[in-house]
């Protein structure tokens, strides 16, 4: 519904042409590689997230620029988007006139980020290592220390040490609180 609304609101702009709408991230990825100058993606899309699609476009060397328009004002997502080469990261409550102007700037090669997000990014840097994030993903799935140990080929005692470190870094009450904190900040990979 929002996708159609954005398309309809941008359609009257004389210098912006909507060349397609995608139902999911995989379809958006296919469409972006062919005939789009800018792909406007959301973080949460079926089959392939907007961030995953942006990373794939970057890895494929696509010239299609990416703008993320989302409700997620999370520093972790913004950091991942920057690493993926995303040219714009805006919130869905951005007025259409500002969105149109942002797309023009992105088309011209400039980056556009919501000011609210840039300040939150400066305040919160993800303290977790790649391994700690991986362990948190296993905890999120409900895996036991023994299961995580088998999956990652790490001794159970080492897994417990990682979990203690994660809880301390995130100032969490317990494992599930740590998962919740990391998820809310956008620090868990998808």
Query: What is the DSSP track for 116-128?
Result: HHHHHHHH-----
Give me the pLDDT at residue 120, please.
59
pLDDT at 99: 86
Give the pLDDT of residue 43: 86
Across 63-99, b (16+ Cβ under 10 Å) vs e yields: ebbbbbbbebbbbbbbbbbeebebbbbbeeebeeeeb
Tokens of 119: 């300040």
Cα-Cα end-to-end distance for the chain:
24
Are 1-122 and 130-185 the same fold in CATH?
no
Tell me the CATH number of domain 1-122, given options 3.60.10.10, 3.40.50.2300, 2.40.50.320, 3.40.710.10: 3.40.50.2300
pTM above 0.95, yes or no: no
| pLDDT number for residue 119 | 61
Q: What's the pLDDT score for residue 165? A: 94
**What are the domain boundaries of the chain?**
1-122, 130-185
Q: Which fold has domain 130-185?
A: Arc Repressor Mutant, subunit A (1.10.10)
Rounded Cα distance, 177 and 154, in Å = 23
Mean pLDDT of successive 10-residue stretches along the chain, which has 190 residues:
72 81 87 81 88 90 89 78 89 84 92 76 77 95 96 95 94 92 80
Those residues whose C-beta lies under 8 Å from the C-beta of residue 18, and which sit 6 or more positions away, are 7, 10, 11
Phi, psi dihedrals of residue 58, rounded to the nearest 5°: -60, -50
pLDDT at 123: 59
Q: Any idea which residue has 């007025």 for tokens?
A: 95
Tell me, what's the pLDDT at 30? 86
CA dihedral in degrees (92, 32, 54, 97; nearest 10)? -20
The pLDDT of residue 108:
93
């Amino acid at each position: 519904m929002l996708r159609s609304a954005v398309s309809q609101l941008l359609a009257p702009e004389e210098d912006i042409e909507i060349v397609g709408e995608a139902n999911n991230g995989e379809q958006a990825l296919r469409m972006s590689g062919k005939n789009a100058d800018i792909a406007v993606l959301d973080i949460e899309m079926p089959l392939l997230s907007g961030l995953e699609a942006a990373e794939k476009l970057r890895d494929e060397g696509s010239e299609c620029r990416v703008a993320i328009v989302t409700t997620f004002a999370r520093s972790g997502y913004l950091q991942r988007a920057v690493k993926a080469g995303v040219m714009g990261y805006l919130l869905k409550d951005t007025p259409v006139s500002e969105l149109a102007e942002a797309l023009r700037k992105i088309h011209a090669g400039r980056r556009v980020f919501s000011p609210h997000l840039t300040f939150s990014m400066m305040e919160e840097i993800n303290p977790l290592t790649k391994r700690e994030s991986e362990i948190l993903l296993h905890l999120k799935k409900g895996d036991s220390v023994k299961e995580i140990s088998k999956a990652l080929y790490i001794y159970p005692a080492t897994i417990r040490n990682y979990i203690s470190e994660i809880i301390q870094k995130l100032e969490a009450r317990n494992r599930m609180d740590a998962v919740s904190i990391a998820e809310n900040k956008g620090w868990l990979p998808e």
